[in-house]
Amino acid sequence: MKFYAYVRIEPNSKFESDKFLSILYKYGYKIPKNRLILEEASVSKSIYSRDLFQNSINYSLSSGDILVIKSLDCLGCRFEEMLLIANQIFEKQIRLICLDYSKNEINGDLRIFFNHFLMLCSQFEKSFNFNNENLNIIVKKNGRPEILSEVQKKQVLQYFKKGESINSIAKRFSVTRTVIQRILKVVVKNVNNQISYLDTT
């Protein structure tokens, strides 16, 4: 049985290896420095793209070895990934300890609770992402709400034709310059379309 530790660290950040190893020693885990695996990876990077972690799981650790990880994000960037990789570790009979979850090995009832926790978080994450995607679709479909009525838009055009500035028109209707510019842009586009149509007939 061998002890290993894996820590994900943000790129270009400092990590005190000796201090971390001394903390592990206090918990009863004596890990040689050459078995402390430090991998620079952003929290958004998939576990399947973290080469050091994958090599450790697939080639370095054997059945019965103990892997100590600092936190849940060492197992992936999404809860679904965390659940899959945790089950892969358990299937290989590698003994897992996640310090943020428990200072003890995750086995027995603790493993059942751990898997259940990851499963609930994964379902919530999927539901949250699905709802956000639907919300984005609705926002894109509906677009910005109309601030000025059709009558007011015609008035904007009349004032503009008379030579009134965009700033002045915006103050008249208590809106921003962007609103007036958008209305005029639509008018110009419609005129250009009409001209193109007449040219083709």
Taking the model in full, what pTM does it have? 0.62
Q: In what order do the strands lie in the sheet with 66-69?
A: 36-40, 3-9, 66-69, 95-98
Fold: same for 3-123 and 150-200: no
In whole angstroms, what is the distance from residue 156 CA to residue 150 CA?
Answer: 10
**Which residues are CB-contacts of 170 (< 8 A; sequence separation ≥ 6)?**
176, 177, 179, 180
pLDDT in tens, 104-160: 999 999 999 999 999 988 888 877 665 555 545 444 444 455 578 888 888 888 887
Kindly report the CATH number that applies to the domain delimited by 150-200.
Answer: 1.10.10
Q: Is CATH 3.40.50.970 the classification given to domain 3-123?
A: no
Extents of the domains making up the chain: 3-123, 150-200
The predicted structure's pLDDT at residue 141: 47
